[in-house]
Structure formats: structure tokens, C-alpha cells
Structure 1
Amino acid sequence: MNARIGQAAIGALLVVLALLCWHLQDSAAVQVTSPPRMAWAGGLALAWMAFVIARVRRSTDAATQEVGGILVVHASQTGFSTELAERTAAALKNGGLPVDLRSLDELTLSHLTQASQALFIASTTGEGDAPDVATLFHGEAMRTPARLRGLAYGVLALGDRDYDDFCAFGRELDDWLRASGASPLFDRVDVDNGDEGSLRHWQHHVAHLAGTPGMADWVRPAYQTWRLVERRLLNPGSLGGPCFHLALIPDDPAHMVWAAGDIAEVGPRAEGTILPHREYSIASIPEDGALHLVVRQMRGKDGALGLGSGWLTERAALGGTIDLRVRRNPGFHAPSDDRPLLLIGNGTGIAGLRALVKTRIARAHRRNWVIFGERQAAIDRLHVDELEAWSEAGHIERLDLVWSRDAVAVRYVQHRLRLADDALRQFVRDGASIHVCGSLDGMAPGVDAALRAVLGDATVNHLAVTGRYRRDVY
């Protein structure tokens, strides 16, 4: 709308100039004092500007009403996608956000170009086919990339691993959006046959967008009983919130099974009541003998401790029981081969990076490049001593530490990435995969922009499509 209003202002200015020329020419010809034509001309110009701006605002308001805020789009074959879309829309509305809920057969490219955010819930039918309601959009709009650079999106892909082309339409939709210049809010969430853990992960992202972390779980996790056996402050005196290293062990040793990249779902409690689950990146591997977490205390605007972080870092008794289950997150597992691996993260994202490096060390895969950022080198050393030791031992090929409050020029990991452009291009040419773990706000989009600036959109999209660019961001 601002561009159109600017055009209106230019038009009004041209009217003023034209009337001014007419007034001067007329005055020169008659050589008498005429009535106050300039005041009249200015009034006419202002009236013209007001008229044009009103027309622009009316057309813009109509377009906004047509889109209606965050787009929530469903492509369903049996109705399950529609049900999940309705839950998603309700959650966003509860957070005070305007929502436009549509079936994919009601969606046009103009809706997407006018929107700033869109969430897609997409089913796959048959042997990897798009659902019937997606036939027109799939056959026409998705034939070639569109121009959607201003759109941020998320995709929930529903499928069944019993079929060869698992979540095919959701994956194809995600690829098309990336190729069209849209930016993912978070990595695509794939759901195998209604898997409840994956659906909770989607709800976790939706709650983050809505700003309602206390949203009730759609499906309660089937928790196991674990015990909190260690709680240690990692950053005393930090300018940021206190960060704690936590260690937990299960009552049943059979539950000591996970892979680096998996997620711990924790059920905090308040006066015995189980609260909505919280998700944390696991910072260890089973061979460590305990499940490790790195948790920063979060506080609300009123200063109250966050439900999950407050429970784990302060309220839960050391030695007491914790409701916890491990959710597999294969999209963030370490590569099975010895390809180079670039690990980028900040803050509590050290948890995911630490587990991945431990896995690479166990497999004797040494081509690891770690870029990690925090506030101050003397204080915010969240397992940085381990990173430095692994680097000295040759387990990490290159280690870049970035301290935002100590810096003069290079403040964040994305800045370091841009300065290492030649090394980054060579690492990718050598077949590297890229894993990013940490903040969804600031770091993740900054890293994505840096990768695209150095490697180009086509290369970054190809890395994502082929599974060589993966993120665990929150």
C-alpha cells in the first residue's frame, strides 16, 4: 500500500506543478494581481491526493480481507488434513492472530503473493499422488516456480511409510515453495500414519507462531518415568538467562535408546497436574549413560518462570521423577557416511550439535566444521570446553566460536559464515551436509540468508531437497 500511496503523492505533486505553471503564465500575461489561485490549487491537489489514497486503501483492505491474515491451507483426501487444519487455525486464533482457512482447491497464486505467512497441511493419496482437491493447483500453479519471495511457510506432510513414495505430495509442495523463493519457517514435518509425536511437533511450531506456549496438547504423550540425576549451572553471571546442564536416566534401562538429533518430550508439572509438553534437543548419546539436556530458564513478561524450563531447572527435585519420552527425529540424524558435516548453532542449540559431534567421533568421521555463537567468551561457555578439546584432538576439523557481546565486527554465526565464503563453497563442493540447531528467531533465518548469499538459491534449495541441509530450530 505504501508504494501506491507514494504514487498518489507524486500524482498530486504533478497537479500542483501544473497549476503553478498555469498561474504564472496567466499572471505574466495579464500582469495584474489575480485571486489567490495558489491556495485554490493546493486545495485541489490535497483533495486529489485524499481521493487517490482512499481508493488505494479500499483496494488494499479488500485484498487483506481476501487473504485474511495467516493462510492455513489443507489438501485432504479423507478429511484428516482438514481436521488438523481446523485445529491449527483455532490455535492461531486463540493467540489473537487473523487466520484465513482454505482448501487447496480454493487457493490461487494471488492469495500466496498477498500473504506473508502460510501453513500447509497436505495429504498424499494412492501411490504418491496429490489428493483430488489439489488436482487443479498441482497441475497448473505448481507446474513452474512462482514468485513468492515474501512468503514464509510451513508444511505438515501426511503419509504412510508402507508406501514407497512417502509423503510425496507434501514433499513436492515443499520443494515448489522453496523453488518459488518462499522461506520455510521451520523444516517440513512428515507424519507417518498419524504419528502422534510428529503431530505434537507441528503443534509445538504452531504454538510458537501463536505466542501461546501453554496450549493444551492435542494428544498427550505416552510418557515414561525418568529421574533427574544432575543439574548444573553452565553460565553463572551471564547477561542472558541461566543455562543448565541436566542429566536424566530412565527407571527402565530399555528406554535408553535414541540417536543424535532426536527430541526429548517432557511433561512439566504444577501441583501434580501434567502441563502441556515441552520439546528439548538431546545433548548426549546413549553411550554417555544418561540423557543430557541444555535448558535455559525462560520467563514471561510478568517475570514468572516458564512452565517447562522452570520445572526442569528449579522446581523438580534432584533425584525426583520426570515424565519424559524420546521422539525420533530422523530428519536431523547424522549422515551415515563420512561426508563432511557443517554444524551451525547458537545458545542452547549446543545440545543438538554436541550429540551430533559425539556420534561423528564414535564413527571416526573427522571432517567436522563447527560454528557456534553465544554472548561472552569468559562466561557463556556452554560445553565449549568440550568443543575445544575435540578440536585439539582432531575430531573437529575447524572450530569457529563467535561471541556477540565481545565482538567488534563479527557478532553472530551468520556473519562468520559470510566471511568464510570460500571455505564454505569448497566444503559443499566436497559433498558436505549442513545441520543448524538453535534459535528460530534471528539465527536460523540469518544463517539461511548467509548460505543463499554465498552458495546461491539454487544450491541451497538442492541441498534441502536432497537432505543435505537440515534444521532443528525453535
Structure 2
Amino acid sequence: MLPPNAPLTPDQRGRFDALLIELSPDQQSWLGGWLTARTVGAPAVAAAPTASVPLTILYGTESGNSEELAARTAKAAKGKGFKPTVKNMADLAPADLAKSERLLVIVSTWGDGEPPETAVSFYKSLMSEAVDLSKVSYSVCALGDTSYEQFCKTGRDVDARLAELGAKRIADRRDCDVDYEDLYTEWADAALSTLAPAQAATVSVAPVPTAIGSQFGKKNPFPAELLDKVLLNGKGTAKETWHYELSLEGSGLVYEPGDALAVLPVNAPDMVEGLLKAARLNGSETVELKGGEKKVLADALREDFEITTLSKAVLKKLHEVSPSKKLGALISDEGKEDLREYLWGRWIADAIAEFAPDGLSVEALAGIMRKLPPRLYSIASSPLEHPDEVHLTIASVRYDAHGSSRKGVASTYLADLIKKGDTVPVFTQTNKNFRLPESADTPIIMVGPGTGIAPFRSFIEHRAATGATGKNWLFFGDQRFTYDFLYQLEWQDHLKNGTLHKLDVAFSRDQPEKVYVQDRIRERASELFAWLEQGAHFYVCGDASRMAHDVHEALIEAVVSAGGRKRDEAEAYIEDLKKSKRYQRDVY
């Protein structure tokens, strides 16, 4: 059936729905491909041959990109005569792969070299278990971020391990940065063509889809009007956390609690000026962008390029256009520790000033930088409580390093450059791995210090709006009660009206000895374990580097102390929670 906001008359809707009911799944798939091709001006795709060749498409995802690409690959595979089966790494064991003669893997690397949260168990098993995969033909597409040292490590590890276990690589692995569209398409077309039956139709991977019922999405972000912005911290705080309210009216974009909003920022004028000064350019030059578009350099640096984040990948490109013995040593395998120290707090402009003191040509400058990627933020509102709106909770990143002031691109873009009434380019990003329980009666435990509180504001609003009867328990932490109790009045109202049943807070700087949310979890171990035994879902959102790990340890300790388990039994208990989707994390 069509969505309620489909731009059709009631009569058109009725006739279209009636037609869809009569069509088989294959006929619906063909019709969708034909309409897409007709819209973009491409020739209509021929009807797919009968799908008969089994193909397994395996994905491991953190933010949903790998899952989306797996679905797109499956659609293209059907057109080539395959019978594709899409599998999440969370739902199978490495031994299951032996049953798949044809295997395509799409997996992201999360953080600095780690597998996605839902793929950890599969990854560990694959790396340690001996499985005979000699009958499997495969190829891997790895997603990652070149700003991290261990770029695409998970995909590289999986690719190498499959080969070690006897699988035959039929197409080279592709390592994709955050701007992955072109490389992914090349990989998928090459892999499917190699595996395809002789009679397969010529079908390429479809372009990235927009949201159902909407013309807006990743390729065409929606200009969302900023309705309001409120500083959440009190006077005297050391922090700067903003609450933003954006309009989605007329966009057709939809979201659920747990999803994220992608913001496409621009670089601040002082960032652009600093880079131009280091490169010894004035900004009026013309630069050619990917796809052949020509643009004034200053505008391109503001709108199109990632001009601050310094990484090993950037330094390698800089070394190619401006060779330096010192830079060569820094990016060598022996220089890992020195490189890690050098990268902290430095921007691309700093490296250019040091290693290319005579400046760079326009082409050389453009060649060392990647496309400016969108920033994902956990949504802090329920669509039922705030129709046609989306709310965000964002801490502005500002710090000093190497004698200069630094700032986050997107967080200060919103704080400094966007005023009420201005528009922000956005699109919604689904996160199926961070969802409220299906049953409204299920209790939930939420751990969200700092801006990690965002999705839990959405959770509580949604449960209140739907009349959910499950109990809700929130752990929140920040620096000081007086200045940093984000959404304090709202939580107090939820406590009064019974939507929020328990609230535990930890303000680390209000006493000589620092107290964090993990300490509160240990203090409440008995009751927390009792909630888990009653079927509660456990959620964590926030900092991945320390908080998420410390909370995980505290959770294990709670199961040991209150549940009477040994350490290995407690770890198995927590692993079972993960597998049953009762332990979910949204960490960054």
C-alpha cells in the first residue's frame, strides 16, 4: 500500500493499490526498477530472468549503511538471475557460510578498527574457528573512515580470513571511505558480473534511494528550517550543549525513536582562510570537483571538502605532492607512535604549513582532501510528540591545541552560523539496532550521560505518547548538577506523571571523588539485575572510548554480584542479551 503522504488523489491511490495487490513480488520489483529508470532518463530495465542461482549477501553494520547497500545489492542480483538471501552477521555463525557457494560481504569498521556492535560475536568466531570454506566463492566490500588509523580493518580482516579458510576470491575487495557510492557501485557490478549466470540481464546497482514517499534523502537533503535553539547548560558551566528544533514539514522524511539525523555542514570562514593561507592561495582560483563541476576555490573549500581532519591518508597524499624526509618517516610503519601524537589536535592546514612551506597548487590541494561528509546525530524527539519536527542535543566542540583554537565542524556550524529561520540540509538515517521493545509492557533501562541522553528523551516521549505501560529507568550523568542537568524539568515532569519510574544521576565534579553512571549501576546492582530477569531491555548511548566500556564492565559486575554468576557466566548472560536484542548501544 502507498504511504499516507503519497502525492496522489484518492482515486489514483485506490487504483494504484488495487494494481499492487494483483502483482507478484517479481512484477512489483520490475515495476519499481522501470519507474526509477524512467524517472532518471535511463532505458527501462528488461524483465529479470527467473531467479534460480542462490547468493548469500552478508552484512555487518553500525549506522545502517552496510544494511542499505546489502539490500541494494540484492535488488541488482535478482536482475542478474540470482536468488539472493540477505543476512545480518548478528544472525548466523561462520559455519553457516559453508552452505553458501556464492557469498558477498559488506561490512563496516566501527571506531578505530573494531567490528560493528552487532557483528562482534560473528567476527570473533570467524577469526578463531576452523571452517572449511573451500566451496565458497566470495568478495568483500569494506566501509570505513580514512580519518581513523585502522581504516576498513574489519573488512580487510574478514577478506583475509575467508581466503585462509579456503574460500575463492572472485573480485578484489574495495575499501570505501565515507563517500562510498562510486567504489561500492564498481565493486557490486564487478562481483555480480563475475558470479552471474551466462543468461543474466545487464542490470547495474540502483542509485541510493530516498525515503519512502519523499523526494529528499542522502543525495538530495531537505532544507530544514531551524525553529528554535536553546543553550541547555547554566551560567558558570564548562560545557556548551545546545537543543535544536528543526522543521521537517513538507519533506516526507520519517523517523522512529533510535534513528539519527544526518546534518550536512559547511566549513567556517576562519577554517577556509587558514587553509588558503597555508597553501598560499587566495581562494579566487577555479577548482574542478568530482564529476567535472567547476567552482570557485573558496566556495568549494567551504561547501565541498573536508578541510580540517588530518589523517594518515591525507599525509600520504601530501607526501606525494610535496615529498619530505620527515613526513616520509612519519607515515612509515616505524612511525606509528609519532604519527598518532602528531595527528592529535592538528588540522590539514598545519601539515601543509610544515611540509609544504612554499604552498600547493589548486589541483594538489584539492587532491589531498576528501568530500565533506555528513554528521550523524541521535534524534532527541518522538515524531508523535513533535509532528513534522526533529530535535537534536549537540555539544559544541571547542578546544586549544598547538597554540591555536580548534572547533568541531558541524557542532559549531549549528551553534555559530545558523540562526532561527535559517535552513540546514538534513536527511534521516535509520538505526534498526537501537529500537524500543516491540511490547509496550517491556521495562527498559537507559544509560545516557551527557549528550547520550538524546535518544532517551525520544524513547520516553514516545512511550508517553503511545501509553506504553512498561517501566522506564534512566541513568544520567554530567559534570555538575547546577549547570549540566540536561532536560532536568522534563525528567521531573515525567517522574511526576509516572512515565519515568526511576532516575539515577551522577555528577562527577560535585564532590572531591568523581562519580559516574557506572558507579550508580554498581550501587543499584540488585534491582537492576531484577529488572533484567523480568525481561528489561538495556540501552547505552554516548562516548565509546571510555564510558561505554566502563558501563559494560559495571553491567557484568552487577550480574556477578546480584545474579550469583561467575565472570564467564556473567559474560555469557550479557552476550545472550545482545543476541536477543535486549542489550543495544549507540556509541560514538
Q: Give the alignment's TM-score, normalised by structure 2.
A: 0.47
1:283/1:124 CA distance change after superposition, 3 Å: same
Give how far 1:425 is off. 1.1
Q: How does 1:86-105 map to 2 (within 5 A)?
A: none
Amino acid at match of 1:246: Y
User: How has the CA–CA distance of structure 1 residues 305 and 218 changed in structure 2, closer, same or farther, with 3 Å as cutoff?
Assistant: same
Cα distance, 1:405 vs structure 2: 0.7
Q: Structure 1, unaligned stretches of length 5 or more? A: 1-76, 82-120, 136-151, 158-166, 181-193
State whether structure 2 residue 179 is matched by structure 1 residue 217.
yes
| 2:460 alignment partner, SS class | helix
- Residue correspondence of structure 1 range 129-148 to structure 2 within 5 A: 129=97
Residue 227 of structure 1 is matched in structure 2 by 225
In structure 1, distance between residues paired with 2:128 and 2:535 = 21
2:556 and 2:120 mapped to 1: Cα distance? Answer: 21
Matched, 1:296 2:395: yes
Q: Distance in 2 between matches of 1:430 and 1:179?
A: 34
Q: 2-side partners of 1:216 and 1:285: how far apart?
A: 28
Q: Summarize deviations over 1:400-440 as a string: whole Å, max 9, x none.
A: 11111113556100000011110011011101010111111
Report the 3-state secondary structure (helix = DSSP H, G, I; strand = E; otherwise coil) of the residue aligned with 1:330. coil
SS of 1:390's equivalent in the other structure is helix
Amino acid at match of 2:392: L
Structure 2 match to 1:320 = 422
Contact 2:243 2:392 in 1 (8 A): yes
Task: Note if 1:457 corresponds to 2:457.
Answer: no
**Any idea what SS the aligned residue of 2:452 has?**
helix
Q: Secondary structure of 1:232's partner?
A: strand
Amino acid at match of 1:278: R
AA partner of residue 180 (structure 2): W
Contact 1:122-1:156 within 8 A present in 2 as well: no
**Higher RCO (CA 8 Å, separation ≥ 6 residues):** 2
In the alignment, the residues of structure 2 paired with residue 229 and residue 412 of structure 1 have an alpha-carbon distance, to the nearest angstrom, of 34
SS in 1 for 2:427: strand
Relative to structure 1, the CA distance from residue 171 to residue 374 in structure 2 (aligned partners, 3 Å threshold; closer, same or farther) is: closer
Instruction: Rate the CA distance shift 1:367–1:208 in 2: closer, same or farther, 3 A.
Output: farther
Task: Pick one of 217, 234, 237 that aligns with 1:236.
Answer: 234
Partner SS for 1:416 = helix
Q: 1:414 to 1:80 in 2, by over 3 A?
A: closer
Q: Which whole-Å deviations, capped at 9, do the CAs of 1:226-247 have from their partners, x for residues lacking one?
A: 1112111111335443000001
CA 1:280–1:332: 2 relative to 1, 3 Å: same
**Residue 363 in 1 paired to residue 460 in 2?**
no
Give the Cα–Cα distance (whole angstroms) in 1 for the partners of residues 255 and 225 of structure 2. Answer: 17
Paired with 2:535 and 2:91, the residues of 1 have a C-alpha distance of: 32
Identity of aligned residues (%): 27
User: In structure 1, which of residues 113, 135, 154 is the aligned counterpart of residue 114 of structure 2?
Assistant: 154
Do structure 1's residue 346 and structure 2's residue 460 form an aligned pair? no
Match of 1:388 in 2: 492
CA separation of 1:123/1:384 partners in 2, compared to 1, >3 Å: closer, same or farther? closer
Give the direction of change, closer, same or farther, for the CA distance of 1:459–1:79 in structure 2 (3 Å limit): closer
Q: Give, in whole Å, the separation in 1 of the partners of 2:521 and 2:555.
A: 8
- 1:260 aligned residue: 257
TM-score normalised by length of structure 1? 0.58
- 1:376 deviation in Å? 0.6
Alpha-carbon distance in 1 for matches of 2:407, 2:57: 39
More off after superposition, 357-366 vs 457-466: 357-366
- The structure with more radius of gyration: 1
Q: CA deviation at 1:442?
A: 1.7
Which residue number in structure 1 is paired with residue 509 of structure 2? 405
Distance 1:468 1:339 in 2: 10
Which amino acid is 1:295 matched to? I
The aligned counterpart of 1:420 is: 524
Take 1:176 and 1:343, find their aligned partners in 2: how far apart are those partners?
29
- Give 1:10's aligned residue: none
Q: Do 2:227 and 2:421's aligned partners in 1 also have CA atoms closer than 8 Å?
A: yes
Distance 1:323 1:203, change over 3 A: farther
Looking at structure 1, the residues matched to 127 and 536 of structure 2 have their Cα atoms a distance apart, in angstroms, of 20
Task: From the superposition, tell whether residues 390 and 228 of structure 1 become closer, same or farther in structure 2 (CA, over 3 Å).
Answer: same
Q: Specify which of 237, 251, 276 is matched with residue 373 of structure 2.
A: 276
Could you say which residue in structure 1 is the equivalent of 2:586?
472
CA distance in 2, matches of 1:343, 1:285: 16
CA contact (8 A) 2:508 2:514 kept: yes
1:332 aligns to what SS in structure 2? coil
- 1:241·1:298 contact (CA, 8 Å) conserved in 2? no
After TM superposition, give the deviation of residue 177 of structure 1 in Å: 8.1
- Paired positions, count: 313
For the residue of structure 2 that corresponds to 1:286, the secondary structure is coil
Task: Tell me the distance in 2 between the aligned counterparts of 1:354 and 1:471.
Answer: 15
* Residue pair 1:234, 1:243 contacting (<8 A) in 2 also: yes
The answer as to 2:303 corresponding to 1:335 is: no
Tell me, in whole angstroms, the C-alpha distance in 2 between the residues paired with 1:243 and 1:423. Answer: 32
